[in-house]
Each structure stands twice: as C-alpha cells, then as structure tokens.
Structure 1
Amino acid sequence: MAAQRSCDGVSRRTVLAGAGGVGAAAVLGGGAVAQPAWAAPAAGKLPLPDKAELTVLLTGDAGTGGDGQWAVADAARALCERRGVDLAIGLGDNIYENGPESDTDDEFRIKFERPNTGIDVPWLMVLGNHDTSGIIPGSGGWPSRGDHEVAYHRHSARWYMPDRHYTVAVPAGSGDPVAEFFAVDTTPLSSYVLQTDPEYYWDGPFARRQRAWLEESLAASRARWKFVFAHHPLRNNGTHRNAGEYEGISCGDYLSGKHVKELYEEVVVGRAEFLLAGHDHSLQILDTAAAYRGTQQLVCGAAAKTSGRADEPSNKAFWEAYETLGFMLLTVNARQVVIDAYTVDPGTHAYSHAYQHIRTERLPAA
C-alpha cells in the first residue's frame, strides 16, 4: 500500500522561489536556528554496511515533495522490503527548487525524510544545481548554499553527506573493499550563470582541491569496483546532452559543462568502472565505449519527473527510458555488478522490472 502523505501546508519554497537569494541570505547571516525534533536522529547515524555483497538503491532528482517523488519512493520501498537494501544513493537535486535555507529547513522533512520513511539505510548524497541556487531556481549560482546539506549530515540518521566530496568503501574498514563510492560536486563547474564567489570559480580553490582529492583517492583505492557519482553526467542521450555541449552550448566556462567533461575524461575515465549521474530526468544504461576506456555511464534522474530524449543522441546504450518514472538497483559482489532498472506507474505506485545488465569485466589494476 502506498504510504500516506500528510498535508504540510504551502511550502516556503513556493512563496520564496522568486526571492530565494534574499531569503537565504537572511538565514545565512542570522543567528543559530533551533533544531526541530524531526531533524534530530534518535540513535545516531545508520551504520555503513559491513559485508562483501551489497544491494544499492539508485535514485536522482527526487526532491520535489510531489506526487512523482512519492510514487517512486513507495515503489522503491516495496521492492527494498522484498529484496533487501544496504545503501541508497541520491544523485542531486535533493531539495527543489533552490535548495534549503538552513540545515534545519523543514524542506528536509518534506522532501527527503517523509518520502523515504522505511528505507532505513545510509543515503549517500551529492549536490545538484537545484540544491545550490539563489534568485534563479536551478541556476547552481550559489554553491555555498550547499553547505546546508553538508551540515544536515549531523541531524539525520539516513542523510550521508559529510562533505561536498567524500568516499565510502564497503565493507567498511576493509583493506580490500568490494566497492568504493566517490562523491563529487560538479555544480560549480556547470552552473547556468557565471559564478561570483572566487572560491567556486571553475578554476578556483574548490575545483582544484576536489580534482587533486579525486585523483589521489582513485589512485589509492584498492576496491574491486569503483563508482564515481555526481549530479552531472559525462555522456547523456537526454535533453541536457553530453558534458561539453550541455543544452547544445559548446562555449563558455559554465553552461556548456566543458570543465565537467575535462574532470571526468582526465581523472575518472579508465580509473572507475562506473560513473553515476542524474540531472537528466531519464533512465539510461549506456555502453562501456572503448573511447572511455571501460568507464560506464548510468543516468538515473527519473525519481520525481521525466524529460525527453535528445534530437540526435550520440551514445550507444544497452537500455534507455525517457517518458517514465523509475529507479535502479545495483547488486555488487566480487564477481559482478548487476544493474536492474525499474519503471514506476505514477497512478498505482507499482514498480515493473524493465531491464537487467550484468557487468563482470573490471578495469585493470593501476
């Protein structure tokens, strides 16, 4: 049965979307905000899994608080109850339209905690363009606003975002983990407006630190399978298109995503088996194209709404879906990674198994 949704009244985001910058600035510049009861984890953080085979729920672009999000969350909860789940990954755009106004904003309850009730595992989260916006919803032009989501890590048992970029290895504490997940913040590199804070310029201190960290972390990893996950994809047959030509734009340092492309192609390609992303509201299991040296792109951003296919898609795919809500489930062990794609009926909240892809080839050890 679908979980019941209570009426929480009109969201502050609806009222303030047009003046998001002013409202958030008041919070950022004000005093401490009292922590509401719903934001305080009763028993600390949910533990990271300590096992050599794990099941990972993959969702993206979920945080609308609307019917589409609830349909996918209800379907995923039902499947996870049947199959079991050890981790979940949220691929950005966690709090539409502009991101939270503080680390105790009730949007966390409305758009994350309540819909995902019952999926009680650590949720590895990354920032999206809608999480880091000001006056223009979805612009990604206020990266420091993402600090609220990092700070929320302290308040929630499920929400896992200790920093804007981080790694999680499974089994926890193992010298030879079966999987390692590398969270990356791509939003400063591909905003819809020019960045005004020098910290978050495309070639600024944050971008340089993150790149160095990612290079070192991938080189040091002894995991059998490596997963880099971020909001923006490298390859994408949806309407946002490939990095370097996002929205059909190939010039400029931000909108085109050319510096996202550089980061992925120069640091990630050939070093991680999988690149996981959302941003496009579709489901795609792309091939392991030789030009990308075995790094396979998954796009999973249909956890609340859908978008269409590019007019002239350029990437080979094992399977794609553009007009349906859905999510994916990854089953990972030392032998293989199994990717199961599920579509969701928005009326009944029922899931249907749509496709299965199995990968056994890992990249050569560095």
Structure 2
Amino acid sequence: MGTQGEGTAPSRRTVLAGVGGAGAAAVLGGGVAAQSAYAADSAADGGADKLPIPRKAELTVLLTGDAGTGEDGQWKVADAARAVCERRGVDLAIGLGDNIYENGPESDTDDEFQSKFERPNTGIDVPWLMVLGNHDTSGIIPGSGGWPSRGNHEVAYHAHSARWYMPNRYYAVAVPDGAAEPVAEFFALDTTPLSSYVLQTDPTYYWDGPFAREQRAWLARSLAASRARWKFVFAHHPLRNNGTHRNAGEYEGVTCGDYMSGKHVKELYEEVVVGEAEFILSGHDHTLQILDTGADYRGTQQIVCGAAAKTKGRADEPSNKAFWEAYDTLGFMLLTINAQQVVVDAYTVDPETGESRHAYRHTRTDRLGAIHTR
C-alpha cells in the first residue's frame, strides 16, 4: 500500500449499559463559511482575532486528544508538545474531543476554557481545530454524552479565543487556505450523538434525527467535492481501535442498541468515509495507535491519539493490525504533510517524570486518488 514504519468496583461499561438500557436521559471549506443551525455566531462584534489558517503547502500538525482535565497529566503533555513544536515548528493543532472534563462547560465564558485549554497550551499559538467528545456533552452522568446541546457552548467559544477553532459542530478546513487544490483538507465531525452511553432524549440529536442527517449529507458532499491531495476526517470516536473501548459497533463490548454500541458511527465511517479519506483521526481511547490501512477499509487508515492527559490499557483481544501502539503512557503525535507524503511522528510522555521520547515514525506515500486510477 506504500506505507512504511520505523523505528473490584462495578465497571463503567456495566453502570452505563444499565443507565442506557433504562433510557436515561459555519460549515467551512476552502476558507468560505456558510451558516448552519449548529454554527457559532460571528466573532466580528467584539470577538477574538483568530489566528489565520496557514497558506503554505507543507505543514506540521500537532495531534492531541482527551486532554481537558486541567491536571498534571495534561500539563506534562502540553509542556512536552510545546518543546517539540518549538524545535520543529508547528502550523496547526487538532484536539480530538473531551476538551473540558468531566461534563463540558456550563457557558461559552466558563473559566474552564482557561484552566483546561488556554493556559496549558500557552505558547502553541496556532489554530486549534477542535471537535466535541462525550465528556463535552454530558449532564448528570459524566461522560454519558446525553446532553448534546451543551456542546454549543464550545462552538460559541470560537468567538472568544484566537486559538480555539470550532465554528460549527462539523466543519472543514483546507490548507493552504484558499487554494484551488489544497495539499490537505480536514473534516471535523461530532460523533457523540451517534454513540452516547445513554439514549438521546432531544429529537434533534437522535441517531437518525436532523443533526445526524445533515452532518452525514454535508460530509458526503464535501468529501466528493474536495480536491485536496490528502483528506483527514477527525472525530472523537474511532472506527477501529485496539484499546478497551473497542471498535465502532462493539464499543464497550456492547453490540446491540442504537447508541452505546456505536453502530451508527460504524455506518457513517464505512458508508461515507472509507475509501474517500486517507485518514480517520480519533481519540476516546487514552492510548496511541497507528493502525494499518487494512484491505477491508479501501486505503483509509485509523490513527488513535487520546493520551494527552490520561492513560488506558489494551483490549483483551485486539482485532486490528497495527504499525505501532503504546498503552499506559501519555503522549501526542505530529503530522508532517506535503504533496508527496504524510509522516506521523509519535511521542510518548512519561506520566511520572514528564520526559518525552520520540517513539515511532510512520510514512505514507500512497494517495487514494492514485489508488483509484490504477
């Protein structure tokens, strides 16, 4: 495929499965913005001056996920990432959800934006492309994802921060900004309404409700229209995952129901994304994984990067082939992207000492466009 690599309490699953079973309760592309029902208000009236989307054809992207604890682990990873970015340079950052633990912000001016995003990431002054996670959209039960509308506070925060970039619950960003044929395009999704630990009670966010239908239609149109050399779909929940949350369609070992299993996340990825984007970037599992492209996934490769504050173990019976994996360690990744290749550098961060180590380099040179024309 043209890829190469170097170098005793009740479980959360048991508790949340019981709750779920009981039924508890500016789309952007190429620099052109369009309003939607899920977009933030414009920042023009007293809002923050946004850091610009890069206009260069080679870029370095910081990748982190599940970061927003405001605690020691987040600071260790942020400090290590800042040091690497100062040495290597960075043009964009991506936050893969669970930005504000444990339940998400209570307003778009909640001081948790400062303690769990702005202050830890001081000095990494680039646009941070952000997506929502289950902990960003929760109510009584932390991490349930059962209050999707709470995520609108994070969309609205787009207007208050120079770095935080979330103009909508789903959106696209092409680089170079304004280019007819971008080197890369990043498609952000909100997967939590499709994979919450409890049943959704707001019809807007049912798995087959208006939000899910509109997001899916937008994604299909946008991927088909994109002329980018490399396409990245990023969202909190992975399609494939060797960590304890497991694969979409069997999250937490649950294979029934419309929500906890993540079966509709699986459908979205397999029916719309697979074979259309080279990469799916996800968090959710507090691990680091660079999985293979997989013949069954028509060249779409899964990367999991959710160890920016917490650690988590490996599934008892992992089912996906991997180029490289790391468990029980903190870490982050850097993507270096140009017209010829995407290089993924994985860095581990010792949870005790905060020392970082370059752990693995993976290089991909094959593009789906090239595959499809063979």
- The question of a shared fold, defined as TM-score above 0.5 by the shorter chain, is answered with yes
Aligned to 2:91: 86
The one-letter code matched in structure 2 to 1:226 is K
C-alpha deviations, 1:3-30, integer Å up to 9, x for none?
xxxxxxxxxxxxxxxxxxxxxxxxxxxx
Question: Is 1:283 matched up with 2:288?
Answer: yes
Alignment: residue pair count: 326
C-alpha deviations, 1:57-97, integer Å up to 9, x for none?
00000000000000000000000000000000000000000
CA 1:40–1:68: 2 relative to 1, 3 Å: farther
Aligned to 1:309: 314
2: CA distance, partners of 1:202 / 1:40: 33
| More deviation, 345-354/61-70 | 345-354
Q: Which residue, out of 179, 190, 194, partners 1:185?
A: 190
For structure 1, which runs of at least 5 residues remain unmatched after alignment? Answer: 1-38
Aligned to 1:45: 50
The one-letter code matched in structure 2 to 1:59 is T
Q: Which residue, out of 162, 182, 195, partners 1:157?
A: 162
Deviation of 1:40 (Å): 6.5
Question: Runs in 1 of length 4+ with deviation above 4 angstroms?
Answer: none
Q: Which residue, out of 204, 211, 227, partners 1:199?
A: 204
Question: Is 1:104 matched up with 2:109?
Answer: yes
Could you say what secondary structure the match of 1:309 adopts? coil
Aligned to 2:226: 221
1: CA distance, partners of 2:170 / 2:320: 28
Q: Which residue, out of 339, 342, 347, partners 2:344?
A: 339
Aligned to 1:360: 365
The 5-angstrom pairing of residues 321-336 of structure 1 reads 321-336=326-341
2: CA distance, partners of 1:57 / 1:115: 14
Could you say what secondary structure the match of 1:364 adopts? helix
Aligned to 2:138: 133
The one-letter code matched in structure 1 to 2:82 is R
Deviation of 1:364 (Å): 2.2
Q: Which residue, out of 34, 55, 58, partners 2:63?
A: 58
1: CA distance, partners of 2:353 / 2:313: 22
Deviation of 1:201 (Å): 0.1
Identity of aligned residues (%): 85
Aligned to 1:116: 121
Query: RMSD of aligned C-alpha atoms?
Result: 1.0
Deviation of 1:345 (Å): 1.9
Aligned to 2:176: 171
Aligned to 1:3: none
2: CA distance, partners of 1:130 / 1:177: 33
2: CA distance, partners of 1:256 / 1:347: 34
2: CA distance, partners of 1:84 / 1:40: 27
2: CA distance, partners of 1:40 / 1:204: 32
Deviation of 1:213 (Å): 0.1
Aligned to 1:235: 240
Structure 1 length-normalised TM: 0.88
The one-letter code matched in structure 2 to 1:46 is L
